[in-house]
Amino acid sequence: GNSVTQMEGPVTLSEEAFLTINCTYTATGYPSLFWYVQYPGEGLQLLLKATKADDKGSNKGFEATYRKETTSFHLEKGSVQVSDSAVYFCALSDRGSGGSNYKLTFGKGTLLTVNP
Amino acid sequence: EADIYQTPRYLVIGTGKKITLECSQTMGHDKMYWYQQDPGMELHLIHYSYGVNSTEKGDLSSESTVSRIRTEHFPLTLESARPSHTSQYLCASSGGSGKAFGPGTRLTVT
């Protein structure tokens, strides 16, 4: 079956530090890959996605590249802000085309705290 | 901005009570989902629906039940709440515009 393994937290960084949250996956076929963010007290919001190999998703300064050869989708940001403090979830869908319509398999989440 | 709503946002109830968590969306999405989120943050799919009168159990066994009588409404019911049901419950829907999550209901059973 499908699975997602992401870096365990918590991760604590100072403002303007570089962020990497690792994510690897196991799936049959060609899944779509996602990063979701959950701010305190809120639901999940889609941060970025990639639907095929070598695609790069980007949003709000965050980036992640779909690497089929390493089955990875690591999240990066060059300079984090206090407002980036949240829980980040890596996820995959079990259909390749678009993928947003289908069930998601989530990683366990990584809590990021950014200090001023 | 996502148009998916959950009520209540917070609920504290006693053991043995029957409760219904409401979820509604105004996007006309056919597919809707319920996820249970552990205190340790991990998300588990417990129910989903591909349309009216369609409901399926998810990856994690749950004592809750769901119904889908209308496209926009996907309530989740616990007939007899127990402390082990204490969790955050997230509703989601998906369609052509993508997948959207509600703000969640944080349930505490005492």
Give me B108's structure tokens.
């505490």
Percentage of the residues of chain A whose pLDDT score is greater than 70: 93
Chain B residues lying within 8 Å of A45, measured CB to CB: 2, 101
Is B56 in the A-facing interface, judged by CB distances under 8 Å?
A: no
Q: Do B90 and A100 touch (CB under 8 A)?
A: no
Q: Do B42 and A108 touch (CB under 8 A)?
A: yes
pLDDT tens digits, one per residue of B93-104: 987 667 889 999
pLDDT at B97: 63
A91 has pLDDT over 70: yes
pLDDT tens digits, one per residue of B25-35: 998 899 999 99
B17 has pLDDT over 50: yes
Chain B residues lying within 8 Å of A42, measured CB to CB: 103-104
pLDDT tens digits, one per residue of B39-52: 778 889 999 999 99
pLDDT tens digits, one per residue of A46-77: 999 998 999 999 999 999 999 999 999 999 99
Give me A88's structure tokens.
């980040």
End-to-end Cα spacing for chain B: 35
- What is the overall mean pLDDT for chain B? 91
Q: Do A108 and B33 touch (CB under 8 A)?
A: no
Is A68 in the B-facing interface, judged by CB distances under 8 Å?
A: no
pLDDT at A102: 64
For residue B98, CA distances in Å to A85, A107, B89, B103, B106 come to: 24, 19, 20, 16, 24
pLDDT tens digits, one per residue of B58-87: 888 889 999 999 999 999 999 999 999 999
End-to-end Cα spacing for chain A: 41
Chain A residues lying within 8 Å of B104, measured CB to CB: 42-43
Percentage of the residues of chain B whose pLDDT score is greater than 70: 96
Q: Do B103 and A43 touch (CB under 8 A)?
A: yes
Is B101 in the A-facing interface, judged by CB distances under 8 Å?
A: yes
pLDDT at B106: 93
Instruction: Enumerate the β-bridge partners of residue A64.
Output: A57, A75
The 10 Å CB-count burial string (b at 16+, else e) for B66-76 is: bbbeebbebbb
Q: pLDDT-based confidence at A100, cuts 50/70/90?
A: very low
Q: Which site among A48, A85, A90, A103 would you substitute to test the B interface, given the most B Cβ atoms closer than 10 Å to its Cβ?
A: A103
Q: Do B43 and A89 touch (CB under 8 A)?
A: yes
Q: pLDDT-based confidence at A95, cuts 50/70/90?
A: low
> Rounded to a whole number, what is the distance in Å from the CA of A42 to chain B's nearest CA?
5
Distance CA B33, CA B44 (A): 10
Chain B residues lying within 8 Å of A7, measured CB to CB: none
pLDDT at A36: 94
A107, A23 contact by CB (below 8 A) = yes
Is B75 in the A-facing interface, judged by CB distances under 8 Å?
A: no
- Which candidate from A46, A104, A109 shows the least CB-CB separation from B42? A109
Q: Is the dihedral of CA B103, B97, B47, A105 positive or negative?
A: negative
pLDDT at B15: 97
